[in-house]
Amino acid sequence: MLNKKFIPFFSIVLVFITINAYSQKATSEEKKTLKQARRLLDNEKYNAAQEKYQKLVTLNSTSDEYNFEAGLSFYLSNKERAKSIPYFEAALEHSKEDTIPELYYYLARAYHLNSDFEKSKEAFYKFKPSIKQNTLAGRNLAKETDYFIDKTEAGKKFLISKNKSIEVTNLGININSEYGEYAPVYREDKQVLLFTSRRKNSKNSKLAADLLPYEDIYVAKKSGNTWELVSDENELAKHLPKDFNTKKHDAGIIYSSDGKRLYTYKSDKIWQSNFENNTWTALELLDKTVNSSKYNIPSVSISPDGKTLLFVTERKDGQGGKDIYQSSLNTEGKWSEAINLGDKINTKYDEESPFLSDDGKTLYFSSKGHEGIGGYDVFKSKLVNGEWSKPINMGIPINSPADDVFLIIDIEEKNGFFSSSRDGGVGSMDIYSIAPPKPKEELKEILHNINGIVVDENSKQINNSTITLKTVAPDNVVASTPSSDGKFNLSSTFEGNHTITIEASNYEAQNVRFSLPQQSSTADLTIVMSKQESSTHHLQIMHITSDALNLNKYDTLKIEKVIAVITDDLNDNTNGVDENKNNVLGAYIASYKEMFNYNAKEISTSNPTYIDLINKAINQVAEKGKVYVDIESSSSKVPTTTYDSNQSLSKNRLNEAEKTFINALIEKGISKDKIIINDTKSLVQGPAYIGDSENEKKYEPYQYVIIKIR
């Protein structure tokens, strides 16, 4: 078991040194793999460490050590950190009474980075009592814990007011790499983007003190909807001075509004180049009034008239940490002594990357001190009567629980670029674009036509039957019709789960359940009815076609995905299947149920029962060629602040469960066409909410996902 020795958050890379030997006897293969994994983790080779730890978790899924360290390998990688959550959760589940307190810290931080703000707050509160505040490290950690608890509250608020008028898009692998990319500089008239990267390159193989490549400036040009790096020397000369990259750090900062001056950063100083006679002049160092600090930060903005310079530095007269300063150009063409922008803009925490709007009346900057979601958030302040107003958080989706910096944006706040270390990127820090949402194509009205014929076991048509079509959850009658010469026609404008009930004198009633797609479709059915004394039911599907927004083009759908089951009494069986009877797809061979906390949706993929489900699904494909999957999701009626509605939360749980299950099988070499998602439903259940969210036991039974396979 993990011991209870406290591991400071700033030395967690060495966490495995404090872990006792695991209690159950390990195989020689496990010992060897664990040694390799810990060496890789210690050397910060996180991707390689992840592979080793995943192997260990497969060998022993109930090991708290393996799961905890596997979680660290993802969390410390600064990329896809949310993947650490199921491992931390599994470590917590299996550590029992010996739960180590720092596990709650890292789980809380991972939840926060994944925007699970309520769960993050709960984990932080469980962590707080274990902090030893009789040491400086403990007191600092207590402050950090309170800081992030405040951020979770702000995060919940900003989720509710998410800005839906813009979309944020990662610029992709043409621009971003596994290393950091940041500080975008945009020349709209040229469709050119300058940015700074710490990627490896052939011209400079040396590493900086932090063992990463030195910063260099790169240029990209937009062609159509894609960005391409510029390598041609003549093209580069149009945008940068000669020899713009050196053997040390170099970073692009900003162009003046007329595009004739460029400010860059090198040797911890700010430099200027002018565009004269169709060429860029050699870089010149700015005045000491700007470059007076030992360590300047490569963040500068220039006013439209070129007479006001805003930059970031750390000085003794500051508010604390990095602050934004202002310098003015005097009549002699020199920059005046810099003035701190004051405590309305600067805080005791760090400020970063100022940017002035085209009219000079709005200041955008990043800060860790103002009310934000976490890390650096982007804020804006208006110039009113010569003074900057109280900063306003730019909100989600520009801001995230990670660092969001270097925003440059047009005056209408619709188009721009910024850098972010949010999860899901290409590397540790990526460049993103901001733009209005793409207009959605106007979809044609969905119309599903269901044609059929009712016959007996001798294929003789049955007259005078009644066919009723209903939606499932909610249980609404869509249409009902008698058969004419055994034939019928029904239609629905709804997607999702439906049932058809066929009733005829002297015959057992038939219940046919199926799911209709999001686009218009046509289904032809043959229903075989049995006499009442017989218990055998049959269903045959002749063919199904789908019109996906093109009435002249039909795509054949997989029958298995449309038709689910036949049962005697669908209403008595929430799964649409009587597990004690045979049906057209066979009996269930395994199931898994995941219970959720408020707003959670992720499947615990390291849970042994879930792993067993995956293994049985693999075996089923090997034996039968396909595996059929039914998924049911549910949310309680406690109002959600993260999703638009409880139905949306339930649907998100369903989608997450389906995606996670399919990806798990694909990773094991199962092709997607062998995975038949057969029947799905998302529910909102339980007692009405009466403002008692603290009554968890009342609502918890209705927060779940059930996955069944056959």
- Let me know: does 564 contact 573? Beta carbons within 8 Å: no
pLDDT at 688: 77
Question: Quick count: other Cβ atoms within 10 Å of Cβ 524?
Answer: 14
Q: Starting at the edge strand that comes first in sequence, how are the strands of the sheet with 590-595 ordered?
A: 590-595, 704-709, 627-635, 675-684
Going from the C-alpha of 253 to that of each of 408, 421, 473, 552, the distances in angstroms are 11, 19, 56, 54
Q: Measured in Å, how far apart are the chain's first and last C-alpha atoms?
A: 37
Question: Quick count: other Cβ atoms within 10 Å of Cβ 478?
Answer: 18
Residue spans of beta strands (DSSP E) within 1-81 = none
Going from the C-alpha of 83 to that of each of 73, 76, 93, the distances in angstroms are 10, 11, 17
What does the alpha-carbon distance between residue 391 and residue 347 come to, in Å, rounded to a whole number?
11
Residue 112 has pLDDT above 90, yes or no: yes
Q: Would you say how long the chain is, in residues?
A: 710
**Range with the largest mean pLDDT of 17-21, 524-528, 704-708:** 704-708
In eight-state DSSP terms, residue 442 is -
Which residues have a Cβ under 8 Å from the Cβ of 697 and sit 6 or more positions away? none
For 18-27, 333-342, 407-416, which range has the lowest pLDDT when averaged over its residues? Answer: 18-27
Name the phi and psi angles at 27, rounded to 5.
Answer: -75, 165
Residue 499 has pLDDT above 70, yes or no: yes
What does the alpha-carbon distance between residue 390 and residue 383 come to, in Å, rounded to a whole number?
10
- Let me know: does 405 contact 366? Beta carbons within 8 Å: yes
Residue 537 has pLDDT above 60, yes or no: no
Query: What integer is the mean pLDDT of 426-437?
Result: 90
Residue 491 has pLDDT above 90, yes or no: no
**DSSP output for 404-428:** EEEEEE-TTSSSEEEEE--TTSSSS
Reported as a pLDDT band with limits 50, 70 and 90, residue 362 is very high
Task: List the beta bridge partners of residue 201.
Answer: 204
Match 């580069």 to its residue by tokens: 236
Residue type, 441: E
Query: What integer is the mean pLDDT of 372-380?
Result: 94
pLDDT at 347: 95
Query: What integer is the mean pLDDT of 585-603?
Result: 84
Q: Is 117 helix (H, G, I), strand (E, B) or coil?
A: helix
In this structure, are strands 387-388 and 181-187 parallel, antiparallel, or unpaired? Answer: unpaired
Residue type, 428: S
Query: What integer is the mean pLDDT of 230-259?
Result: 86
Two structure tokens written together for 75: 């969390």
Provide the mean pLDDT of the chain. Answer: 81
The share of the chain scoring above pLDDT 90, in percent, equals 30
What does the alpha-carbon distance between residue 503 and residue 706 come to, in Å, rounded to a whole number?
31
Residue type, 474: P
Which residues have a Cβ under 8 Å from the Cβ of 27 and sit 6 or more positions away? 59
Q: Dihedral, CA atoms, 245, 249, 253, 258, nearest 10 degrees?
A: -20
Question: Quick count: other Cβ atoms within 10 Å of Cβ 565?
Answer: 25
- Cis preceding linkage at 482, omega within 30: no
Name the phi and psi angles at 429, rounded to 5.
Answer: -145, 125
pLDDT at 557: 26
Query: What integer is the mean pLDDT of 148-164?
Result: 89
For 3-7, 213-217, 231-235, which range has the lowest pLDDT when averaged over its residues? Answer: 3-7
pLDDT at 583: 37
- Name the more confident of 108 and 499: 108
What does the alpha-carbon distance between residue 200 and residue 519 come to, in Å, rounded to a whole number?
47
pLDDT at 218: 92
pLDDT at 535: 38
What does the alpha-carbon distance between residue 616 and residue 591 come to, in Å, rounded to a whole number?
10
Closest CA to 288 of 272, 302, 269, 274: 269
pLDDT at 39: 93
Name the phi and psi angles at 472, rounded to 5.
Answer: -110, 130
pTM, two decimals, is 0.59
Residue 597 has pLDDT above 50, yes or no: yes
In eight-state DSSP terms, residue 493 is S
For 25-39, 143-157, 480-494, 646-660, which range has the lowest pLDDT when averaged over its residues? Answer: 480-494
Task: Give CA angle at 181 (179, 184), nearest 5°.
Answer: 175
- Name the more confident of 332 and 496: 332
What does the alpha-carbon distance between residue 699 and residue 598 come to, in Å, rounded to a whole number?
9
Two structure tokens written together for 174: 């043409």
Query: What integer is the mean pLDDT of 647-672?
Result: 90
Going from the C-alpha of 660 to that of each of 107, 307, 465, 607, the distances in angstroms are 20, 55, 43, 13
- Let me know: does 14 contact 22? Beta carbons within 8 Å: no
Residue 442 has pLDDT above 60, yes or no: no
Q: Is 122 helix (H, G, I), strand (E, B) or coil?
A: helix
Task: List the beta bridge partners of residue 482.
Answer: 466
pLDDT at 420: 95
What does the alpha-carbon distance between residue 547 and residue 446 come to, in Å, rounded to a whole number?
9
pLDDT at 630: 92
Residue 534 has pLDDT above 50, yes or no: no
Domains of the chain: 9-160 (1.25.40.10), 167-433 (2.120.10.30), 448-572 (2.60.40.10), 590-709 (3.30.1330.60)
Residues 677-693: tens digit of each pLDDT:
888 888 888 887 776 76
Going from the C-alpha of 217 to that of each of 244, 250, 275, the distances in angstroms are 8, 6, 18
Question: Quick count: other Cβ atoms within 10 Å of Cβ 409?
Answer: 23
Put residue 16 in one of left, alpha, beta given phi > 0 → left and psi -120 to 50 → alpha.
alpha
Reported as a pLDDT band with limits 50, 70 and 90, residue 350 is very high
Residue 551 has pLDDT above 70, yes or no: no
Which residues have a Cβ under 8 Å from the Cβ of 547 and sit 6 or more positions away? 519, 520, 521, 522, 553, 554
Residues 620-633: tens digit of each pLDDT:
998 888 899 999 99
pLDDT at 297: 66
Match 């006001």 to its residue by tokens: 308
Which residues have a Cβ under 8 Å from the Cβ of 550 and sit 6 or more positions away? none
Residue 650 has pLDDT above 60, yes or no: yes
pLDDT at 8: 37
Task: List the beta bridge partners of residue 676.
Answer: 628
Task: Give the H or E element holding residue 387.
Answer: strand 387-388
Closest CA to 172 of 406, 427, 423, 435: 427
Question: What's the sign of the alpha-carbon dihedral 635, 640, 642, 648?
Answer: positive
